Amino acid sequence: MTFELNEILRLSSHDILNVGTGRYSLKEVANILYDEGLRTKNDLKRRAGHIHKIIQDPFYYGVMKRDGKFYPGNHEPLVSKEAYEQANAVLSGKLRPQSKGKFFHLRGFLKCANCGCMLTATSKKGHDYYYCTNGKGICGEHKKYMRAEYLDTLVAESFKKLQTDEELLDMAYEAAKEQSGLDEHYLELSREKLINELDLTRQKQSKLLDSYLAELVAEDVYRAKIEVLNREKVSIENEIKKLNDKWREGEGTLEPIKNVFLKGNTTLKNYLAGTDEEKRIIASELLWNLAIGGQKVQDLQFKSVYALIAKDPKARTFDEMLPLLDAFRTINWMDLRIEMEKMGFV
């Protein structure tokens, strides 16, 4: 075994095999390994597929595989054969994971600002507490326990960065529509006209082909006319595509973008009023992670479109709001639309 694999097994064998109990998914194991310093040569997170291969290695329970045959190893087994088989049965779909037990709604979102490890959670006397895992063995923060209710206030406080003046937002939205030169009625009429022209061109192509097959038109005449009609058809199709693209890049993204801002305004209230399950859904939609140090938020990372909103100050004037709306539309439109579809805005 390589040093790299030995380190993975030494540091995370218990985490990887907890896939079998349902405690961690492969993605969550990848996050844990990354936090513990087990990364690729380019300092990137290991892929779930790579971890999957490690879990399938019989080395775990004391067996070596060579030339398709299995031999007892001289090393001490890291896990029992039963635990190894259960983890692989879960991954192969032959066995459903066992209950994950206690649900901690902020598990996976909180990191230690001091050492970079994930915060884990435990229950004591009817309350949930979070603390640093101290996976690197160098952190003093793991002795500081924080109640879930206290952390909920920190998470909710971070959502203030997403709040926007709705009156200014409406003004900026209307101005953006006007600046884009969009006239929905005009675009629809233009599109209908082009579609009619396209249908007419196709009819001409069909009639010309019928005449040629009936030997009513000479071959050289047919080829010359069909070439003209083909060019005309391609030209019309390109014009229709341009109109469709213009709508998508304008009205088609402005409305979902406006909804993103509006959701940012209600997130704080909805988070504090929600159940633990609802809080986790909100956090998973908006946050990558929060770094906690000294029981305060030291850093936070919002997902995709919300990162743009959070970068700007809360108090915005109309002149500041309009460029921010435009900024959304200058990034890759398809990527933006995919992200907004995931969040339910499109």
- What three-state secondary structure class fits 136? coil
Counting every residue written for the chain, the total comes to 346
pLDDT at 296: 92
Q: What digits encode the pLDDT tens for the residues 144-199?
A: 899 999 999 999 999 988 888 788 778 877 777 776 655 566 777 888 899 999 99
Least confident of 15-19, 102-106, 255-259, 311-315: 15-19
pLDDT at 332: 46
89 phi and psi, to 5 degrees? -65, -40
User: Inter-axis angle of helices 81-92 and 3-17, to 10 degrees?
Assistant: 80
312 phi and psi, to 5 degrees? -95, 155
Q: Whole-model pTM?
A: 0.49
pLDDT at 292: 93
pLDDT at 333: 42
Please tell me the distance from the alpha carbon of residue 79 to that of residue 81, in angstroms, as a whole number: 7
- What three-state secondary structure class fits 291? strand
Q: What digits encode the pLDDT tens for the residues 74-128?
A: 777 766 777 777 777 766 655 455 445 678 999 888 999 998 888 989 999 889 9
Q: For tokens 């159940």, name the residue.
A: 275
